[in-house]
Amino acid sequence: MSDIDLTSSFDYEKLIEEEKQHYSDIEVTDDLKEGGAHASTSWSYYWQHVDRTISRGPFANVPEWLGTTYGARAEPIEILSLGSGYCGNELDFARRIDAPCRIHCTDINDDIFAQAKEVAANEGLDVSFRTEDLNFIDIEPDRYHMIFAHAVLHHVINLERLYDQISRGLKSDGVLHLVEVVGQNRKLIWDENEAFANQLLEHLPEQVIGDHRLHVLPEEEGMEGIRQEEIMPLMESRFSPVYEHCHGAFMRCFSTHPTFLDLIHPKEPVAKRCLDFLIQCDDAAVRNKILRPLEIWGVYRPKT
């Protein structure tokens, strides 16, 4: 079990306050998921494309898979969610799992649990909420059928410790479900991916793109992307994939960019063709290992 604490290399209290402030201020959708650019039509269109790929695999419907795999047992299905935020995904799981289940939500900022607590109480969902710092969390051994981490590991400094805690917290046949960004530290998109994407823009209609080009600035506050380059190497040393889909060489940066999400969107035919072209190029670049993926959707088991 790793006991290395890397937070001491940072002004950790300042980072925590910046994290809390950021996630207290951002827009939230009616279904308690991150809003703003992440609720744009271009981002939703791209994720529908990703979902179609995942739907051809064995985990097309995670709640259904959980019910089928663990639901016949006498005990409820136990799920631990790491860095749950506004808990929209967790509430969806609780509604859709066709078997008794308990979902335990965690986040360092308990203020953002308020709406989810109200929804869970009103709908009679077995969802609990507790404040946890994932850099120092102690997970009960051999308890969980699934541990869920949605876009949270790229905020963690003590990754080695957290991975060890996840391994010990899972039951012998339990799984880690990961949805994560895994690109360049603090910036996400690799420089070569950004250059490639801008070369593609040279071939799109000027009336759609104009002279706009992608230029992603590094994050300077909080723990956004603080060790994200190490997420997958450390994962691969400790876990084996049951299913893994690598994607997104640059599409996240286009689909959530305040300029491009309005320029390339599916509502207007020419703009939609541009969006489809970029998605197809992105897929080909990742599939043929021309560019490194920035995103992972996977299900994993600890290595023995």
166-196 pLDDT tens trace? 999 999 999 999 999 999 999 999 999 999 9
Which residue type is seen at 149? A
Q: What is the pLDDT of residue 1?
A: 67
Q: What is the pLDDT of residue 304?
A: 83
73-118 pLDDT tens trace? 999 999 999 999 999 999 999 999 999 999 999 999 999 999 999 9
Q: What is the pLDDT of residue 147?
A: 99
Class of domain 7-302: alpha beta
Q: What is the pLDDT of residue 292?
A: 98
* Residues sharing a CB contact under 8 Å with residue 54, sequence separation 6 or more, in sequence order: 60, 245, 297
| Contact of 196 with 249, CB cutoff 8 Å | yes
Q: Is 247 helix (H, G, I), strand (E, B) or coil?
A: strand
For residue 5, which of 222, 158, 155 has the smallest C-alpha distance? 158
Tens-of-pLDDT digits for all 304 residues of the chain? 667 899 999 999 999 999 999 999 899 999 999 999 999 999 999 999 999 999 999 999 999 999 999 999 999 999 999 999 999 999 999 999 999 999 999 999 999 999 999 999 999 999 999 999 999 999 999 999 999 999 999 999 999 999 999 999 999 999 999 999 999 999 999 999 999 999 999 999 999 999 999 999 999 999 999 999 999 999 999 999 999 999 999 999 999 999 999 999 999 999 999 999 999 999 999 999 999 999 999 999 999 8
Alpha carbon of residue 199 to chain centroid: 28
| Whole-structure pTM value | 0.97
Determine the Cα–Cα distance for residues 115 and 270; give it in Å rounded to an integer.
40
Q: Which helix (H) or strand (E) holds 79?
A: strand 77-82
For residue 95, which of 120, 70, 75, 132 has the smallest C-alpha distance? 120
